[in-house]
Amino acid sequence: MAEGKREVDELRQEMAKLDAQILVALDKRARAARHLGELRRDQPPSLPLTDHAALRALQARGTGDMPQDALRDIFREIFASCLALELPVKVAYVGPEGGPGHTAARARFGRGASLLSCGGTTSALDEVTRRHAEFALVPFETATEGPVQSTILALMASDLRVVEVLDATFELHLMSRTGNFADVDKIYATPADHALCERFLASLTPRPPLLDVKTPLMACQLAQEDHGAAAITSEAFGAQVGLEMARRNVLDGGGDRVRHAVVGLRPSGRTGDDVTSVVFSVQDAPGSLLDVLKVFGERGINLTNILSHPVQGEAWSYVFYVATAGHFTDRPLVMAFEEIKRSTRFFKVLGSYPAP
């Protein structure tokens, strides 16, 4: 027994030493990020687009002792925190504070970033166009419904470019001060989150009173003040105010994979593993769409996604959204786009970005 206790104590001491080494490395990385920010102070703001590849490389180097999901989350937080030091920009996002847009913006740009809530995609893009923000983060695609039509239409009407696309999982949880579900006698939630968790809430017997609030963060703050209250929220914002998990993933149908687009004034550079999104509408003639698709095929361009959306105000007219492998400056894409422009009613590059 004494030998086992001695070994436990030694391992605890070793872990404490490793923690101190990690702290030294994190401080050193933070200083490098600040220095990089000073060197870039007079340059137009641009994202370090190699983060995606760097994150995958770090995961691949892991031995497996640290779970892959945990390793990814840890380095994402490090990258985001250092990005806030390197690139102290204002970012407009869609939705309330504590919502999925806010969560995604904070995860990419760091907790120290200046974040601006907007009521819709057009409003967020306008903040960048008017130079009140350097970037906008907007909903771009879901695993269940594909590209978000309102975002595609807003980007079509804008001169901004998609410079990055972020993967995220949208989940909602029931969180309380104690984490004990038996203590819950009331639930705070926004009307939108309430609607997304209707089946879960209807299954509760007895059903606690549901109190509407304006933002998920407000729900968390109210729950933290009341022993018997719980909030429907994301894990990050519940943990921020000290809430514990009472029921995990109460979203009807489980979590949904969501992609958010980061949009800016300047196009992104090549990374070597890029995707380009374009939209176009074809002439009202037989075979028009096929003629466009042939151009991509003849030049060996891989289409990773193609969808149609109805054009608002024009009955039976459609705009096509296409995602292709490659950067918009790659020669095969340049030549294909020039040829396609001559045979379409409308054509626009939404942006190139690192493959998610």
Residue 18 within any structural domain of the chain: no
Q: Whose structure tokens read 């038996």?
A: 182
Same domain, 279 and 222: no
Return the SS3 of 130: coil
The more confidently predicted of residues 311 and 40 is 40
Measured in residues, the chain has a length of 356
State whether the Cα torsion 260-167-100-141 is positive or negative: positive
Q: How far apart are CA 113 and CA 90, in angstroms?
A: 7
Asked if residue 206 and residue 130 are part of one domain, the reply reads no
Query: Is the domain of 152 the same as that of 216?
Result: no
Given 230, 264, 298, the domain boundary residue is 264
Q: Which helix (H) or strand (E) segment is 145 a member of?
A: none
In a domain, 20, yes or no: no
- Indicate whether 205 and 335 sit together in one domain: no
For residues 164 and 35, membership in a common domain is answered with: yes
Q: Is residue 13 part of a domain?
A: no
Q: The CATH number of the domain where 226 resides is what?
A: 3.40.190.10
pLDDT of residue 254: 65
For 62-94, write each residue's pLDDT tens digit.
888 999 888 988 998 899 899 889 888 899 999
The rounded radius of gyration (Å) of the Cα atoms in the chain is 24
Say yes or no: 31 and 166 in one domain.
yes
User: Considering only CA atoms, which of 167, 163, 168 is closest in space to residue 350?
Assistant: 163
Judgement on whether residues 43 and 145 belong to the same structural domain of the protein? yes
What is the pLDDT averaged over residues 138-148?
Answer: 85
Give domain status of residue 7, yes or no.
no
Confidence (pLDDT) at 96: 85
CB proximity list for 280: less than 8 A, separation 6 or greater: 292, 319, 320, 322, 340, 344, 345, 346, 347, 348
pLDDT tens digits, one per residue of 6-62: 889 899 999 999 999 999 999 999 999 999 989 888 888 888 878 888 888 898 898
Which domain covers residue 338, as residue numbers? Answer: 274-354
**Would you say residue 72 lies in a domain?**
yes
Judge if 36 and 99 occupy the same domain: yes
Domain-terminating residue out of 264, 286, 309: 264
- Within a domain: 288: yes
Q: What is the CATH number of the domain that holds 326?
A: 3.30.70.260
Number of Cβ atoms within 10 Å of the Cβ of 155: 25
> Do 165 and 187 fall into the same domain?
no
Tell me: do 166 and 182 sit in the same domain: no
**Residue 42's pLDDT is what?**
81
Looking at the fold, whether 129 and 224 belong to one and the same domain comes out as no
Beta-carbon contacts of residue 82 (< 8 Å; ≥ 6 apart): 29, 30, 32, 33, 110
**pTM listed for this prediction:** 0.83
- Domain membership of residue 10 (yes or no) is no
Of the pLDDT bands very low, low, confident and very high (cuts 50, 70, 90), residue 285 is: confident
314 and 298 share one domain? yes
- Residue 46, in any domain of the structure: yes
Total number of domains in the chain: 3
Across residues 205-210, what is the average pLDDT?
A: 89
The secondary structure of 173-210, three-state, reads EEEECCCCHHHCCEEEECHHHHHHCHHHHHCCCCCCCE
